[in-house]
Amino acid sequence: MKTVERKPVVRQYELVEKVKRYDPHTNEGLLNKAYVFCMKVHGQQLRASGDPYFYHPLEVANILADMRLDHYSIITALLHDTIEDTLTTYEEIESLFGAEIAKMVDGVTKLSKLELQSASTPQAENFRKLFLAMSNDIRVLLVKLADRLHNMRTLYFIKDPDKRARIARETLEIYAPLASRIGITKFKDELQNYAFEHLYPNEHAVVMEKLASMPQSQQMIENINTDITNVLEIGGLSGQIFGREKTPYSIWKKMQKRNITFEQLSDLMAFRVVVDSLQECYQALGLIHSNYIMVPGRFKDYISTPKANGYQSLHTTLIGPYNQKIETQIRTKKMHEVCELGVAAHWNYKQHSKEDELVNVHDGTQYSWVRSLLEILEHADTPDEFLEHTKLEMFNDQVFCFTPKGDVIALPKSACVLDFAYAIHGEVGNHTVGAKINGKQVPLRTELCNGDQVEVITSRQQCPSPSWERYVVTGKAKAQIRKFIRIEKRDQFLELGSNILHKVLNKENCTYDEKILAKSVKDTNYQNVEDILIAIGEGMLSAKEVVKYFKPYVVPTASQELIKIKFAKQQDVSTKIPINGLIPGMAIHYAGCCHPLPGDSITGIVHTGKGITIHTHDCQQLVVNANEDEFLDLTWSDTPNQEFNGRLKITFVNNQGALALITTAISKCDANINNLKIINRSSDFWEILTDVAVKSSEQLQTVKASLRTLSIVSQVERQ
C-alpha cells in the first residue's frame, strides 16, 4: 500500500473563521452547531484509513470553504453522511438546521446510496438518478464532488483492488466530466489524476518518472513567465502570469490520441495571463502575438463565444523563448475565478446581492447544458441510452454557429445542420427539410464550422427519417430522432395489431370487446391492451393466442351456423375469381409498377383485346398512361385464395449474416421470397428489392413489421 502523508484535520474555529473571512454574514452559530453535531453522531466510527470518521465530513467542508461557498453548502458537507451512516433522521436535520439544508443533505444521501448499490446496479441508472437530483439544486453536486475528491485522496486505504478500480472508473467517466462541465478545473484535474493513478498504475508511473527527469522545466517556466511579463510591461500592461506543467492525465491522453511517445510531445507547458479588464485581454493578445510566433489554427476566442459552462478566455499556442510550443490563456480576474471555481463562483459572499434575488441561483436549470441534458433525459427510452447521449454531450469539443438573428448556438465538433436545428428546438429539428449556410443551400448532413450562419428551413409535412441518426452527433438530436421513430413504429404496430385481431375474431365468429381483453391482461406478460395489440402487430404474439380470451363469451346460434355455410360457399367462388365485378375467364394482369394486393383499394384499366390491368388506387401510372373512360372501380373478393407478389425495398446494415436474418424473418411470417435484387451496396449499408409471395396487404404489413424489429434493418418501404 502506498504511504500517504496525513494532513492535520481542520479545527472548528479554523473552519468558522475561514468562512467568515469571505462571508461576514454567515450564520456562525449554525456552523458551530453543525460541527459539534457531526462529531457527536459519528462518535467512534472509523474510516478504512483508521482515522475517526468525522475527519471525512470536516475535510469535505474545508474543500468547499476553500471555494468560498455559502454556509448552507458548508453545513450540508458537515452533515452529508449523518442520515445514511448514523441514527439521525431527515426530520431531525430539518428541525435543527432548517428545510433547505435538510433537502440538500437528503439529496447527497440518495447519491451516496447509489454508490453502495453500484456493484449490482447498472452505472447508467445511477447516473440518471444522480442527474435528476443535481438538477434540483446544483449545490448537491458541488458537495458530492468534494465528497468524491476526498474519497479519491484516501482511496489507497481501500484494500479490495476491484472496488478501488470501480470507484476510479466511475470517477473518470462520470464525476470528472461533470466537474469539467460545471467549470471546476481544479476538481477535474485532481479527480482525473487520482483515477489515472489507480486505473493505469504502470502508465502513471512512466509519466511521473518522465516529468521527474526534467529538473530544468521549473526553471524554464520561471524564465518564460519573466519573458512574457516583460513583453506586457513594455506594452504598458501589467498582469499576473502563471505557468505550469500539464497534468499527468492530460499528458497521457495526448500521447494516446496522437499515438506518440513522451519525448515527442512539444507542448508540455501552459501559461495563464490574468489582466484587469476585457479590453486588456485583447491588448495582451496583440502584444504576445507581435513578440512570439503564433501556431496557425490554434487560436480560439472563448470570450466572445463562451463555453456552455460559462468559461471565458483567449486561447493561443506560441513558439516560446526556448523554441517550444506553449499554450497560453488570457483572461480577466473574474474569468479566472469562474475558470477555477465554475458554478461555485456564484455561491461566494456575493450571493446576497440584489441580482441574485431575482432568480433562483441554486436551480441547475439556469445552465444551458443542464437544460440540454434534462431534455435528453425526457426523450431517452432507457438509462443506457441516456448515458450514451449524455457522454456525447459532455466529452466533445465545440463549434460556435449563429442563427440569422445573431444568436450563438454551441455544438460539438463534427455537428451537422440537423444538430443545429435540434439545438434550437426539438420540433424545429423534426420538421427540417433544408438549410442555408452563409446563404448557400446545403444538404442536411453538412458539417458545420466555427462562425457559420445557419438558416433552417422547415415544413409541417416533414418528419424524421431513421437515416438521420447516422448524421447527427449531439445526444439531444439522437434522443429526439429515436423518440419520434419509436412512437411512429408503435402507432403503426398498434393499428396493424388491431386489424389482425379483428380479422381473426371475425373468422372465429367472435366480437371484439376491449373490456374482455382488459380483463385478460393479467393472464399475459403485457401491461395493458395497447401493449397486446402492439405485440400482435410486431409479430411477437399470435392473434390466435388472444382469440381464446373471447371464446367463452360466444354463444353459437342457428343463424350463425348458416352464416358460416354461406361464407364458405362464397370462399369457394372467390378462389376462382379474386376480384368482384369481373367475368370469369377474363384476362387479368397485376401491374408491376405498384404490385396491388388483396386489401388495397384497386382500379382496373381496360386494354382492348388484352384484358384488364389491376393497379392500386393511388398508383401514379393511372394519371400518366390512362384515360378516365377506361377506368373500372373494382374490389377484391372477400378471401382470394391465391398468392400475390408484394415488393419491398429494404435498407440494412452490412453485417455478416444480415441477409440470412432478413430471409428468416420473412419466412416466419409464412411468406416466400420470389425474387431478390441488390440495388445499392456500400461498406456500411445494402439496399435490396425483394418480391414476397403473400395473400394480402395485411400479411405484407406483418412482414414489414417483422423486418423492422431487426436491429440491422434501417428502413423498409413498400414499392
All three cell numbers of 649, joined, read 425495398
Number of neighbouring beta carbons within 10 Å of residue 471: 19
Beta strands in 261-396 (DSSP E): 269-275, 293-294, 300-301, 314-319, 325-332
Share the mean pLDDT of the chain. 78
Chain position carrying cell 469562474: 338
Mean pLDDT, residues 689-704 taken together: 89
Please tell me the predicted confidence (pLDDT) of residue 497. Answer: 80
The confidence score (pLDDT) of residue 416 equals 92
Give the pLDDT confidence score for residue 147 in this predicted structure.
Answer: 92
Coil, strand or helix at 120:
coil
Q: Which amino acid is at 344?
A: A
Burial 340-358 (b: 16+ CB within 10 A, else e): ebbbbbbbebebeeeeeee
Per-residue pLDDT, averaged over 29-54, amounts to 90
Checking if the pLDDT of 375 tops 60, the result is: no
Cα 663 to Cα 658: distance, rounded to the nearest angstrom: 9
Is the CB of residue 679 less than 8 Å from the CB of residue 687? yes
CA dihedral 226, 230, 231, 232 (to 10 degrees): 100
Say if residue 266 is exposed, middle or buried (CB neighbours under 10 Å; 0-12, 13-18, 19+).
Answer: middle
pLDDT digits (tens, 9 = 90+) for 258-294: 778 887 776 678 899 999 999 999 999 999 999 888 8
Neighbours of 298 (CB within 10 A): 14
Active-site residue flag, 633: no
Coil, strand, or helix at residue 14?
A: helix
pLDDT greater than 90 at residue 406: no
d(CA 150, CA 49): 12
pTM of the shown model: 0.50
Q: Looking at the DSSP assignment, which residues form a beta bridge with residue 675?
A: 691
The mean pLDDT value for 533-562 works out to 69
The lowest-confidence range among 141-150, 176-185, 551-560, 668-677 is 551-560
Handedness of CA 572, 578, 582, 588 (dihedral sign): negative
| Full set of structural domains in the chain with CATH | 12-199 (1.10.3210.10), 212-347 (3.30.460.10), 373-483 (3.10.20.30), 484-553 (no CATH), 558-636 (no CATH), 644-718 (3.30.70.260)
* Non-local CB neighbours of 85 within 8 Å, separated by 6+ positions: 42, 45, 53
The secondary structure of the chain in percent helix, strand, coil, rounded to multiples of 5, reads: 55, 15, 30
Q: Of the residues 28, 51, 85, 94, which is catalytic?
A: 85
In one letter, which amino acid is 522? K
CA-angle at 31, arms to 26 and 33, nearest 5°: 145
- How far apart are alpha carbons 502 and 705 in whole angstroms? 18
At 205-262, the pLDDT tens digits run 988 888 877 755 677 888 888 889 999 999 888 888 888 878 899 888 888 877 788 8
Task: Evaluate the CA torsion angle 22, 24, 27, 31 in order and state its sign.
Answer: positive
* Interval 432-457: pLDDT, tens: 988 888 888 888 888 888 778 899 99
Contact 497, 535 (CB under 8 A): yes
Element (H, E) at 349: none
Of the candidates 14, 28, 51, 84, the residue annotated as catalytic is 84
Instruction: Average the pLDDT over 602-610 and give the result.
Output: 72
| Residue 545 annotated to the active site | no
